[in-house]
Amino acid sequence: MPHWCNEEQKSKSAGIRCPVLVASLQTYIAPPSPKMHFVSPEFAYWFELALKMAVTALFVSVATIIAERLGPTVGALVATLPVSAGPVYVFLALDHDTAFVSASAVASLALNAATAIYLTIYVLLAQHHTIWISSLLAFAAWLAATLPLSLVHWTAWSAFALNAGVFGFCFFIVEPFRLVRMPPTTRPWYDFLVRSTMVALLVGAVVTLSFRIGPVGSGVLAVFPVIYTSIMFILHCRVGGPATAAVLASAIPGLAGFGAALLTLHLTVVALGSAVALVFALGVSVAWNAGVYAIRRHQVADEVIE
């Protein structure tokens, strides 16, 4: 008998096998399958990150093409759907728990007001200034609003109240600039490439940094206005400031619906889970924008009749 079995385990009448001996025999007879490490963990991480960015770029490209085929008004509303923030939150949900996603949604909701300020400043400046002056000053306004807002400990309802006040004011300001007619134009191929690349880089940054910057920082980065910035630069240089401003002014009401989607995500993600909550939030955003589009169609029909 092996030396690790005691005298009591040697007794045949006891009928008890030495557990160490059994384990040794099992290991010898059926050793566990070795893990196949074909790639390093670092390579696997970067490959997964690149895959996430590629999927996001494809999603943004498809959404953009659909929007452009349906006209600038619909394009502006599609831009306010979670085209960029949606993929970010999907990957945050895969990497973190529901509490993290819930806290990030509150931070994004508060910063949604800063995006409304960003668009409003651009709409005002683009009437008489170049793309560089308009976009840089608008971005400076976004930073000036973002830095103090990101330091506040927001609750869902205080962030919602902030959005209600800011969006009401911004919508009142940009409404007169929304009626400029968009000249017929054909989008170049690099339009889609620029938008897709910018959003993919945003996804990569948030996914990579989320474990270090926490839910608040992730929520702030998730709503960085990459889609609107790409619209500014691409359209302003081709159709002029007033027409571009009209497109982005039309996006303000839809952006308010994106805030409602973030509030929905925060309120439901812990109770229902990330997957169901993300679907509900997307449904709120789509339904909101469909309602905005229906109201505008009705307003245009009334103006034609008059």
* 12 and 76, same domain (yes or no): no
What are the tens digits of pLDDT across the range 36-52? 344 556 655 555 556 65
Same domain, 113 and 235: yes
CB crowding 145-164: b at 16 or more within 10 Å, else e: bbeebbeeebebeebbebbe
Chain centre to alpha carbon of residue 48 = 18
Task: Verify that 140 and 259 share a domain, yes or no.
Answer: yes
Owning domain of residue 230: 43-305
Indicate whether this model's pTM tops 0.85. Answer: no
In the chain, % of residues over pLDDT 90: 31
Residue type for position 170: C
Q: Decide if pLDDT at 165 tops 60.
A: yes
Mean pLDDT of 83-88: 77
* Structural domains in the chain (count): 2
199, 62 contact by CB (below 8 A):
no
Residue 8 has pLDDT above 50, yes or no: no
Could you give the CA distance from residue 170 to residue 172 in angstroms, rounded to a whole number? 5
* CB neighbours of residue 242 within 10 Å: 16
Please give the C-alpha separations between residue 149 and each of 29, 71, 285, in angstroms, as whole numbers. 64, 34, 23
| 221 & 276 share domain | yes
Task: Clarify whether residues 246 and 165 are in a common domain.
Answer: yes
How far is residue 214's CA from residue 98's CA, in Å, rounded to a whole number? 13
CA gap 295, 299 in Å, rounded: 6
Give the Cα separation of 20 and 22 in Å (integer): 5
For residues 20 and 52, state if they share a domain. Answer: no
**Residue 175 in this model has a pLDDT that exceeds 90:** no
Q: Tell whether 113 and 210 lie within a shared domain.
A: yes
Task: Based on the fold, state whether residues 127 and 9 are members of the same structural domain.
Answer: no
Same domain, 186 and 271: yes
Q: pLDDT tens digits, residue range 131-153?
A: 899 999 999 999 999 999 988 99
Residues 48 and 2 in one domain: no
- Sequence length of the chain is 306
**Same domain, yes or no: 20 and 169:** no
Pair (132, 169) in one structural domain: yes
- pLDDT for res 217: 83
Residue 66, Cβ neighbours under 10 Å: how many?
A: 12
| Residues in contact with 285: Cβ distance below 8 Å, sequence separation at least 6, in sequence order | 80, 81, 82, 257, 258, 260, 261
Q: DSSP for 47-71?
A: HHHHHHHHHHHHHHHHHHHHHHHT-
